[in-house]
Structure 1
Amino acid sequence: MAFDTRNGSRGARQPRGRLLIWANRLMMRRIRRGKGGMRGGQALVLRTVGAKSGEERQSPVAWFPGEDGSWLICASAGGAPKNPAWYYNLAAHPDRVSIDVDGKTVPVTAEQLHGDEREAAWQTITSSAPGFAEYQVKTDRELPVIRLTPRT
């Protein structure tokens, strides 16, 4: 399915700047060592190809178990009005994605969920991490839910 979530007109302030870059690097090191989590849950390092630059980008992201060994992630940006940059990278190159999780790098394909599939995944996410429901209240965009499926 298409990556088609538009930015909203209201939401929480999205963090930015050198402090965020430093914190993300620290979190990614911790995740790769098996010691990192986000909001009390599990985290992975999402490796994408920049939509405009074509360069590799890396972002720490909370994940939730999906069906058949897939990973569910949410492009919440903490309830900001805009989608995170990695969302647009996934949209541009959904088949050029990999993740660092459980001490290994796994090539994956990204797919945005819609309709009943999205609702079921959203229930999985919010039951495990109620903070994501709070993010949804902060913004007027529907938070995108993405399934990452291992490539063979």
Structure 2
Amino acid sequence: MPNPFNEQVIEEFRANGGRVGGYFEGARLILLTTLGARTGTPHTTPVGYYPDGGERVLVIASAGGAPRHPDWFRNLVAHPRVTVEDGVFRYEADALVLERAERDRMFARAVEADPGWAEYQAKTDRVIPVVALRALPKDGPPNIEADSMAEALKLVHDAFRRELTLIRKEVTEQGAASLGAQLRVNCLTLCQGLHNHHTGEELGIFPMLAGHRPEAAPVLDRLRHEHERIAELLDELRRVVAAEDADPGRVLSEVDRLTSELEAHLTHEEEQLIPFLDLAGATR
């Protein structure tokens, strides 16, 4: 039976490239589509997630500490192939329920990031499961929920903006004592994502534009130089985050520096590149 609250969140999520307000505002959120355990009917549920580096994300079947597992968890146990939407990309994934030792490590990492998970566990006798969602390898470009290259670029940029805002908030709330394990993963995942995005632009969008719009050459040259500068900032953030005695204050300083220069780069790229992308799309 449809859940009115979930339906509203799903509609808002899809209409706004992953941005929602209300209860989920400022949270990392995905839409998880599972097949009903008995019926095989698709069901979509908004769930929070944690980056895990590489090709997987983690979701926690807390159900707010209820005595029973949530429906989406029972569904994926029966049918582990699921669909994930993150506001930019839509992809198929395999769901793996983590075994106890790994589950305990990942759950502890989540509790370190948000003590509310421990409160949920304390409310129930069941061991709250942690599930890894691993994206399936796919030939060709990823499925972006956009109608044009220009729209896709803006969606990707906005996702990086949101993630940087979240990381900055998390570093600030972490305090001066230590840098949590999940926060380290979040930072390193962001760094890898930005690197992959810029590499994709330089191998895909830039050569395409150079061929269709030769007058874009000065813009592309400047953007390549900006990519080099962002790469330097990412390398420094990686170095600071990976240090055994990482200082949250130093991490915050590097996140602020990256945020400032990356926002200027993203804004400049949108102002200069999107008109060329629109022209290239119109002539193809």
Change in 2 beyond 3 A, CA 1:31/1:133: farther
Change in 2 beyond 3 A, CA 1:134/1:39: farther
Shift of 1:53: 0.9
Greater C-alpha radius of gyration: 2
Q: Where do residues 73-112 of structure 1 align in structure 2 (5 Å cutoff)?
A: 73-95=59-81, 97-112=82-97
1:24 alignment counterpart: 6
Shift of 1:44: 0.5
Higher strand share: 1
Aligned residues between the structures: 133
1:61 alignment counterpart: 47
1:35 alignment counterpart: 19
Letter aligned with residue 69 of structure 2: N
> Contact (CA 8 Å) 1:66, 1:121: kept in 2 or not?
no
TM-score by length of 2: 0.44
Q: State which of 117, 124, 135 in structure 2 corresponds to 1:150.
A: 135
Q: Which ranges in structure 1 are unaligned for 5 or more consecutive residues?
A: 1-16
> Contact (CA 8 Å) 2:57, 2:132: kept in 1 or not?
yes
CA distance in 2, matches of 1:31, 1:117: 31
Shift of 1:86: 0.8
2:101 alignment counterpart: 116
Q: Where do residues 127-142 of structure 1 align in structure 2 (5 Å cutoff)?
A: 127-142=112-127
Q: Sequence identity, in percent? A: 34
> Contact (CA 8 Å) 2:65, 2:124: kept in 1 or not?
yes
CA distance in 2, matches of 1:126, 1:137: 12
Q: Which ranges in structure 2 are unaligned for 5 or more consecutive residues?
A: 138-284
CA distance in 2, matches of 1:118, 1:145: 6
Letter aligned with residue 119 of structure 2: E
> Contact (CA 8 Å) 2:32, 2:84: kept in 1 or not?
yes
CA distance in 2, matches of 1:135, 1:39: 20
Q: State which of 58, 79, 90 in structure 2 corresponds to 1:72.
A: 58
CA RMSD of aligned residues (A): 1.8
Higher helix share: 2
Worse-superposed segment, 105-114 or 67-76: 67-76
